[in-house]
Amino acid sequence: MCLITVDQSQSTLLSIFSQEYQKQIKRTHAKHHTAEAIETYYQRYLNGVMKNAAAPVLLDLANEVDFAPSLMARIVLERFLQEKEQAIPSKTLISSMLRDPSQIPDGVLANQVYQCTVNDCCYGPLVDCIKHAVGHEHEVLLREMLLEKNLSFIAEDQLRAKGYDKTPDFILEVPVAVEGHIIHWIESKASFGDESSHQAYLQDQFWSYWNRFGPGLVIYWYGFIEELDCHRERGILLKDCFPTDIVTLRHSMAQR
Amino acid sequence: FSIDVFKMLDLGVSVNHIHDKLASLSSLQKDFVPFLLNFLREQTSQILTNGPSTPAKTPNSKAHGSQRTGSERRTGHASSSRVQLFSPRTSVTASLPVRRGRRRGSSSVGASGRQGARDLGCSLAEEEDGKSDSASWSGGRRKSSGAPLVSARSPPSQLNLNNLEEFPPMGAASGWAKSKPSRRINPTPVSAERPLSKPKTCFTSTPVSRSPAAHWSAGSSPEAFAAVQEGNLSSVMSNSLQEEREMLKKERYSLRISFDPGTPTKPSYTRSASLPAESHLVTCANPAKVSCKKQLECLAQLYSSCIAENLVPNIFLELFFVLQLLTSKGTSTAEDGDSDPEINVSGRQHFESVHNCVYFAVRVLDYQFEIISHLEKGMLKLLAENERISSFSPTLHKRLRQAYESSTAKVSLLLPCSVQSVSFQPETDNRSNFPSDRAFQVFKKQRDIFYELLREWEDNHEKTVWDFERVLGSKIRAMMAHLSATCNHSRFARLFQKQLIQMCKGPIGGGASWGDTPDQDVLNMLGSDNLSRLKRLQERFVVPQSIRGPCPPPSFPGCQQFFRDFILSAGSYQFNQHLVDSLCLKILELNGLTLVEHDHSDGETDMEEQDEKKRFTVALLSLRLLAKFLGFIVFLPYRTAEQPAGDMPDSALVLRNQTLPVLDILKLLRQSIRDQRSILTIPWIVEYLSLVDHVAPFLDYYRKVFGLLLLMVLSEDKEMSFLNKLLILAVLGWLFQVELFLLCCILSAFPSFSHQDFVPLVDQQLLYTCCPYLSELRKLLASFVAGSGGKNGGFIRKITPTAAESLAPKASVTQQKLQVDLEQAFFHNQPPSLRRTVEFVAERVGSNCVKHIKATLVADLVQRAEAMLQDKVKEEDVNHDKLLEEVCTHLYEEGAQALIKGREFCKKKGPEAVRVLLPEETSAAVLSSAESIAVELATEKACGWLSANIAALIKREVKATFNRMLKVPGFPLPGVDAVELRRDCPPGCQHCAPFPSQMINEIKYVLCVAVGPREEGEVVDYVWLECLLGRLSQTLRCRKFMCPTAEQQLAKCTVELASLLVSDRVPLSLGIKSSEKSPERLRGKNDPTSGLLKLLFSIWKEDFGTSVPVQLIFSKKNVGYLTEAKQREWDLFLFLLHGLTEHELMRTSEIQSCLHSLEELPWPSVSN
């Protein structure tokens, strides 16, 4: 199998950048969602498009106040719909409109919103999709490696079909030992493992997997902060690549 | 052996015939044993009291009580109440002879014997009382489990358990006499000078109470006590006995005098005396210096007979006492005696010198060699190496040596296992097992929270400042509230119970300290050599080496603490109820394992035997654990700190006598005795009973249970394996000691209860209670029980599968019954392994059959349903529920095939499995019968389940699939063709195409530039874009890394791109050639943009596996772009429309309708 090698260090940097940016957005999220802020943004948008509908009003506004363009588009869209429908619009409706701005009843706003989502580097349906695709691609890569190593597994979709409530990417049908630690499952993370994301993953995913399937392995393809790999004894192992030191039940496969 | 009460009584009565010595004293027999034991204790008190124990003053019992923490049951017996309990004694006993005549067998039983037992029992209970103070499990706030505090007890009696030199832990510290420094953790004895060192009317090897008040309650003068006793005695005693007792009494008084605090004979004991410092005091025991040999020999014989005939409730207690004597060291008083050996005449002590004590001990050990030889190897080693034994009895020494050398009974403790989770099992844990999505989601969260709590506890509970309730209490209660809201208690209780077994059945956490074979995994990893070393090292660290006392109160060591505290902090009635259900269920399941006497003739291998023993051990350990928690919860509501005062018990009794116990342990106990599997049942019932509240033992029900258990001790079952017997005796001995006070109360408070038959026996049990090494011996016993079964009719375990509900009533009931009977008959004369195999096969095949049907038939149906649903769901405004119902109804008919297929499956697989599993030599007839029974059972199981559940199963699966279908990100919106063409990579694909994520990223960039805002002169290179589309084509052709969302996004993005292209929004840079209008621009053939569009047509048509939302071109937004464009772009738009129809991406009619709908939109008045 050959694969297009993405420049690892660049991806790592991008991943770290994205995480830092998201942290910053999370910090300021509340500030941009006060009633006053929303009103201000909406009025500025209205004024802006009144002057020149073709100008990147929303995008400029987002950049000016240091907020993600997609999220700014969401704020203004929500406000717009609220005024139009005289009711709080559902989240699904808004998301759907962000995904497909053609559904937005106002042509100018549709253009503005589309411009925002297309120009956003960390949020929005396009970025979400890219992230999803990247994750999927790494899962496929991991699956390839497992097949190559002859390790039989149950993949996430099969697990879901069986009704598992929490599903790692792969559960090994026969556990193996990686670097001396027994693992039952492998989770692929196409991102950099920084402290906050790792904590969140531990809480939402990794411990839950442990609670159900026992110890397991997490692969952060774009690397991770070494100090985070501190739960090995307890049953969460971190790696930034597919492990080489694998011992199976019958025979050693080390150094393959 | 069918032991009923009468048989038991016979056994009790048969005391008469037990021994010549006893027989000769038949009129005294009931009194004799207690007196003998008391006599021994008293006699030896001097020699063993060199390190005195109990504090001098008599503390206020009330004050003592108030210090106790709430919920420890035994803790709260106020000493004062005890006095009252004893006070009606005289009348009680006086009335007994009248009653006993009614009962067979009891006539020979002297009431005074009972009385003696009662005296003894009560004082022991008092000791218990103080002791249990330390083991409070109140409220989960106290982290001290018994261990550390237990070691703080100091015996009230002459025995100083805290002195390691005197009481070396069993199985350790050989050659104490050589004053080898103990490597054990020193216990912390609470001791003080005991100025009123009173002789004990009871024997108490028990290390006990920090509260001397417990022994001498109000008006605690020895005279008062004696007076009470005398009163009793005189009312019932025969003359000869009276004389004897008078003698003994005199002796006691003389002892008392000798122990008077005023007499300076007794050196004060100070705790600071370190072991090595003390060791030089050890007298060298010399056989030549033994006095009164004849008397000692006589006593040793009498004593040994009592032990041999189970007249002592706890043989290990007696052994402990004997070992104490063996290892006693002389006091100065005793040394004085040495110089004058012949002074000991009647009325003086026979045990005043170390030499005499050792002589006696060695004699008894010699008599008890059978028991000793069954002890653990380390213990035998210590005995074999004991210098005193070798010098006093070379023969015994030799026998011990031989026993040691031939012994294989090594006891080892398992490594403590780390926390493991209970695995998620889709069959029981997936969404379909929950009534609602919410319940499922909540439980999902609760599971994670539970383990989070567990991890937190694991990390922190040993820290001093950490407090369970404070840190975890509110979290647990919040969790309970959530569970209540969704009625998920039973599920959580099951998880809780499973986790409990997972974590606590091991020796350390479980506290039971049963030996087991080492974990095979660990063994493989370390190699057996390293492992055994590691284990020895580990044991030294983790196994408490201090003496915890012969009879520690029930406690929750290790991980059990977490579960106990969890229950207490949760304080949830619902949870407790469900947990009780779950525990009972599991207990019944485990207890239901049939123990079949091992038949050697059927050629079962050792391996199988070992497996069975191992399984038995696991079952027994789990049962004990579960039963302890069951007892804990069941009696929790009634737990009081103090013994209920006044009429309280009566009213409580009246009511509680009306209620039925959650688990009918009496029935189970009787069954187990009848079925000869009490070895499995008694140990866990003992655990359960060890947690009874104050009142429960007074209930008719529990009185019967206790009575039956007491009788068990006397049951001399010759057929029973020696070690099995030892185990039962040990656990019962422990229980009686722990519950002694309660039993005592039963007898005192209910003199007239109808089960008088038990009374004499109770007396005897109560009399002989003390067992220093019990916990140690239990460890030994476990492995012995597990390791000895084979030879002595050991037990094997059999899984009795639950009978499946029969399917259609094809045969009449009688026919069915006949079939069942025939089947039973068939198995009757076959080796048990045949039955196990058949039942096992049936169970597995049946289960596999259901799984197979699910995976094949049901899966097919679900797939078809999915296709049907996918078609219909696109119709606008469909009612999903109704749709689902419709589709499912379609499938139910075909679901009926499941039974046919199920039968086929079982018929095929059953015989295969049976044939493989049964011995090759099985006769053809037997084999075919076995096969057909297995098939029958499997079919019954599988089809029974299927016929009842297939419709529900189909519906469930279809529904789940449908929900997933609706939830799939990017699930096509109504109006968008959803049929995804499943495709493979083109032949010979190297999977080298760019990743989809990369393509989206690049197209996003183009869109960015097109949508703007853009820098001055920012352009998109035409060739690059062309190339991009080329790569996109590759990416789409290779299916390996493609996922639906990515593909849909790409489709959407390319449509957007096309719209932007035809609107001239993409600033293409064409290099040298400018895009000046050509004559043929109408068709757009040479226009660079049209080239790109052509590429896009081809990609949309050929490469996409998903449908391309080309209609988005006509969206208001995109048409809006167009309206702002110049004439040329309208040409391109026309080109686009032609292309769409030519490539059959849209039909003309579709385009027309799209254009029509555009007309309905409000357009600016000015248009091009």
Taking each helix axis as running N to C, give the angle between helix A107-119 and helix A35-51, from 0 to 180 degrees, rounded to the nearest 10: 110
Could you give the CA distance from residue B688 to residue B360 in angstroms, rounded to a whole number? 38
- Does residue B1000 share a domain with residue B962? no
Best-predicted range by mean pLDDT among A33-42, B152-161, B255-264, B268-277?
Answer: A33-42
B126-136, pLDDT tens digit by residue? 333 333 333 33
CB < 8 Å to A60, chain B: 1013
- Is B719 among the domain residues? no
Does the residue A183 lie in any domain? yes
Note whether B1051 and B1114 are same-domain residues: yes
Peptide bond into B1013 cis (omega under 30): yes
Q: Which of A104, A131, A214 is the closest to B421 by Cβ? A: A214
pLDDT at A179: 85
Rounded Cα–Cα distance for residues B884 and B962 (Å): 8
Alpha helices in B854-923 (DSSP H): 859-873, 880-895, 897-917
Q: What is the pLDDT of residue A14?
A: 86
- Give the best residue of A121, A129, A221 to mutate against chain B (max B CB count within 10 A): A129
**pLDDT digit string (tens) for B635-682?**
888 887 766 665 556 777 788 888 888 889 899 888 888 777 777 788
For the cut 50, the answer to whether the pLDDT of residue B522 exceeds it is no
Q: Provide the shortest C-alpha distance from residue B813 to chain A (in Å).
A: 39
B1142 Cα to chain A: minimum distance (Å)? 25
pLDDT band (50, 70, 90) for residue B813: low
How many domains is chain B built from?
A: 3
B606 within domain boundaries: no
Q: Are residues A102 and A146 in the same domain?
A: no
In DSSP notation, A159-184 reads HHHHT-SS--SEEEEEEEEETTEEEE
The packing angle between helices B1127-1142 and B1116-1123, to 10°, is 140
What's the confidence (pLDDT) of residue A170? 92
Give which of B1043, B1052, B1114, B1158 to mutate to test A binding, by max A Cβ within 10 Å. Answer: B1043
Q: How far is CA B1000 from CA A152, B1048, B1049, in A?
A: 32, 10, 8
Instruction: Determine the Cα–Cα distance for residues A96 and B975; give it in Å rounded to an integer.
Output: 14
Mutate to test the interface with A, among B420, B424, B966 (most CBs of A within 10 A): B424
| Chain B residues whose beta carbon lies within 8 Å of the beta carbon of residue A96 | 973
Helix B437-460 and helix B468-486, axial crossing angle in degrees, nearest 10: 170
- Split at pLDDT 50, 70, 90, the class of B966 is confident
Q: For residue A208, give the chain B residue with the closest CA.
A: B448
The verdict on residue A159 lying in a domain is yes
Task: Judge whether B1077 lies within some domain.
Answer: no
Asked which of A120, A145, A172 is the last residue of a domain, the reply is A120
Are B315 and B307 within 8 A, CB to CB?
yes
Q: Which residues of A touch B990 (CB under 8 A)?
A: 1-2
Backbone φ, ψ for residue B258 (5° rounding): -65, -25
Q: Which positions in chain B touch A54 (Cβ < 8 Å)?
A: 1124
**Mean pLDDT across chain B:** 64
Q: What six digits make up the tokens of B616?
A: 């038995």
For residue A95, give the chain B residue with the closest CA.
B970
Task: Please report whether residue B607 resides in a domain.
Answer: no
> Is there a single domain that holds both residue A199 and residue A237?
yes
CB-CB under 8 Å, A137 with B1041: yes
CB-based contact, B991 to chain A, within 8 Å: yes
State whether the Cα torsion B543-B546-B550-B553 is positive or negative: negative
Residue B990 lies in a domain: no
As a whole number, mean pLDDT of residues B7-36 equals 46
Tell me which chain A residue has its CA closest to the CA of residue B448. A208
Amino acid at B927: L
Give CA B1093 to chain center in angstroms: 70
% of chain B at pLDDT higher than 70: 52
- Interhelix angle for B813-828 vs B832-853, to 10°? 130
Question: Within A52-204, where are the H helices?
Answer: 57-64, 69-85, 91-99, 107-119, 125-148, 156-162, 195-201
Mutation site for A-interface testing, chosen from B967, B1032, B1041, B1108 by largest number of A Cβ within 10 Å:
B1041
Say if residue B1007 is in the same domain as residue B904.
no
pLDDT digits (tens, 9 = 90+) for B1109-1166: 888 888 878 887 877 766 666 778 888 888 888 888 888 888 888 888 877 766 655 4
Which of B966, B983, B1004 represents a domain boundary (last residue)?
A: B966
Residues of A with CB below 8 A from B432's CB? Answer: 163
Q: Considering only alpha carbons, which residue of chain A is nearest residue B1004? A: A118
Q: Measured between CB atoms, which of A140, A166, A207 is closest to B1041? A: A140
* Record: contact B426-A212, CB cut-off 8 A: no
B120 band by pLDDT with thresholds 50, 70 and 90: very low
Instruction: Examine the pLDDT at A151 and tell me if it is beyond 80.
Output: yes
pLDDT digits (tens, 9 = 90+) for B72-109: 333 333 333 222 322 333 333 333 333 333 333 333 33
- Return the closest-CA partner of residue A57 out of A74, A73, A71, A33: A73
Query: Are A106 and A137 members of one domain?
Result: no
Please report whether residue B962 resides in a domain. yes
B1122: containing domain? 996-1070+1086-1160
* Same-domain status, A193 and A143: yes
**How many domains would you assign to chain A?**
2
Q: Which one, of B501, B647, B492, B478, lies nearest residue B576 by Cα?
A: B492
Chain B contact set for A129 (CB, 8 A): 1000, 1045-1046, 1049
Q: Is B592 exposed, middle or buried (0-12, 13-18, 19+ CB in 10 A)?
A: middle
**Which of the listed residues B406, B439, B455 is the one where a domain comes to its end?**
B406
Q: Which of A160, A206, A164, A161 is nearest to A185 (CA)?
A: A206
Q: Which of B1106, B1088, B1098 is nearest to B1033 (CA)?
A: B1098
Q: Does residue A116 sit in the same domain as residue A165?
A: no
- A100, A130, A213: residue with CB nearest B997: A130
Angle among Cα A203, A205, A206 to the nearest 5 degrees reads: 85
pLDDT in tens, B778-811: 333 333 233 333 333 333 333 334 444 444 444 4
Proportion of chain B above pLDDT 90, given as a percent: 3
Q: Quick one: tokens of B474?
A: 């509110």
Indicate whether A83 and A163 sit together in one domain.
no
- For B965, name the nearest residue in chain A, comparing CA atoms only: A161
Residues in chain B with CB shorter than 8 Å from the CB of A1 are 990-991
By Cβ distance, the residue of B447, B990, B1000 closest to A211 is B447
Whether residue A206 is predicted with pLDDT greater than 90 in this model: the reply is yes
Does residue A144 sit in the same domain as residue A112? no
Residues of B in contact with A211 (CB under 8 A): 421, 447-448, 450-451
Task: Say if residue B1096 is in the same domain as residue B1000.
Answer: yes
Average pLDDT across chain A, whole number: 86
- Tell me the average pLDDT across B404-433: 65
Range with lowest mean pLDDT among B12-21, B407-416, B1098-1107: B12-21
Domain boundary among A120, A149, A173: A120
Sign of CA dihedral B194, B200, B206, B210: negative
Helix, coil or strand: residue B1047: helix
Cβ contact (<8 Å) for A211 and B1116?
no
* Residue of B432, B448, B973 to mutate, interface with A, max A Cβ within 10 Å: B448
* C-alpha distances in Å from residue B330, one per residue of B162, B168, B282, B333: 17, 16, 6, 8
Question: The tokens of B154 are what?
Answer: 């100091």
Cα B204–chain centre separation = 33
Name residue, tokens 């923490």. B69
Report the residue from A1, A59, A111 with minimal CB separation from B1013.
A59
Task: Report the DSSP beta bridge partners of residue B1068.
Answer: B1020
Residue A251 lies inside a defined structural domain of this protein: no
Using CA atoms, how far apart are residues B394 and B916, in angstroms rounded to an integer? 57
Closest-approach residue (CA) in chain A for B957: A161
Task: Pick the most confident of A34-38, B108-112, B157-161, B204-208.
Answer: A34-38
Residue B715 has pLDDT above 50, yes or no: yes
Among candidate residues A66, A99, A120, the one where a domain is terminated: A120
Cα separation, A95 vs A78, in Å, equals 10
pLDDT digit string, tens, across residues B269-319? 333 333 333 344 456 767 777 777 788 888 888 888 877 776 666 677 777
Surface of B (401-460) touching A: CB under 8 A: 420-421, 423-424, 426, 429-432, 440, 443-444, 447-448, 450-452, 455
Let me know whether A115 and A161 are in one domain: no
Q: Which residue has the higher pLDDT, B350 or B369?
A: B369
Residue B1024 has pLDDT above 60, yes or no: yes
Which residues is A185 bridged to in the sheet?
A: A171, A216
Residue that the structure tokens 């839950």 belong to:
A208
Full DSSP string of B384-424: HT-HHHHHH-HHHHHHHHHHHHH------BPPPPPP-PPPP
Q: Which of A18, A57, A96, A132 has the most B C-beta neighbours within 10 Å, making it the best mutation to test the interface with B? A: A132
Looking at the structure, do residues A109 and A159 belong to the same domain, yes or no? no
pLDDT of residue B98: 35
| Phi/psi of residue A181, nearest 5 degrees | -110, 130
- Whether B616 maps to a domain, the answer reads no
B679-701: burial string, b at 16+ Cβ within 10 Å, e else = bbbbbbbbbbbbbbbbbbbbbeb
Report the predicted TM-score, pTM, of the whole model to 2 decimal places: 0.61
Separation of alpha carbons B79 and B127, rounded Å: 10
Range(s) of the domain holding residue A222:
127-241
State residue B108's pLDDT score.
36
Q: What phi and psi values does residue B210 have, to the nearest 5 degrees?
A: -80, -5
CA–centroid distance for A59 within its chain:
23
- What mean pLDDT is predicted for residues B356-375? 81
Residue of A nearest to B859 (CA): A161
Nearest to B1008 among A119, A160, A165 (CB): A119
Shortest CA distance from B458: residue in chain A: A234
B residues 1095..1114 contacting A (CB < 8 A): 1112
- Cβ–Cβ of A164/B420 closer than 8 Å? no
The pLDDT of residue B1025 is above 80: yes
A102, part of any domain: yes
Nearest chain B residue to A109 by CA distance is: B1117
Contact B719, B11 (CB under 8 A): no
User: What pLDDT does B254 receive?
Assistant: 43
Query: What average pLDDT score do residues A142-149 get?
Result: 91
Could you tell me if A105 and A163 lie in one domain?
A: no
Interface probe, candidates A171, A211, A221, A250, chain B, greatest B C-beta count within 10 A: A211
pLDDT of residue B441: 85
What CATH number does the domain containing A237 carry? 3.40.1350
Question: Do B1139 and B1020 share a structural domain?
Answer: yes
Cβ contact, residue pair B1013, A60, below 8 Å: yes
Same structural domain for residues B961 and B1002?
Answer: no
| Chain B interface disruption, residue of A118, A122, A141, most B CBs within 10 A | A118
A–B: how many Cβ contacts below 8 A?
Answer: 143
Residue B728: name the closest of B767, B778, B772 by CA. Answer: B778
Give A256→chain B minimum CA distance, Å.
21
- Asked if residue B842 and residue B929 are part of one domain, the reply reads yes
B685: pLDDT strictly greater than 70: yes
The residue among B575, B802, B796 whose CA lies nearest residue B680 is B796
Lowest mean pLDDT among B44-58, B237-251, B411-425, B651-665: B44-58
Tokens encoding B428: 């029981």
Contact between B910 and B931 under an 8 Å Cβ cutoff? The reply is yes
Per the CB < 8 Å rule, is A133 touching B426? Answer: no
Chain B window 745-774: which residues touch A at a Cβ cutoff of 8 Å? none
DSSP 3-state assignment of B1021?
Answer: strand
Helical pair B560-570 and B489-504, crossing angle rounded to 10 deg: 160
Span B849-870, average pLDDT: 83
Residue pair B433/B472 in contact by the 8 Å Cβ criterion: no
The Cα A227–Cα A194 span in angstroms is: 10
The answer on A171 and A143 residing in a single domain is yes
Instruction: Determine, for residues B995 and A126 on separate chains, whether the beta-carbon distance falls below 8 Å.
Output: no
**B275 exposed, middle or buried (CB, 10 Å; 0-12, 13-18, 19+)?**
middle
For residue B1124, which residues of chain A lie inside 8 Å, CB to CB?
Answer: 54
Which residues of A are less than 8 Å from B1001 in CB distance? 130
Give the span between the Cα atoms of B972 and B1107, in whole angstroms.
Answer: 9
The verdict on A19 and A114 lying in the same domain is yes
- Going from the C-alpha of A171 to that of each of A167, A213, A217, the distances in angstroms are 8, 8, 10
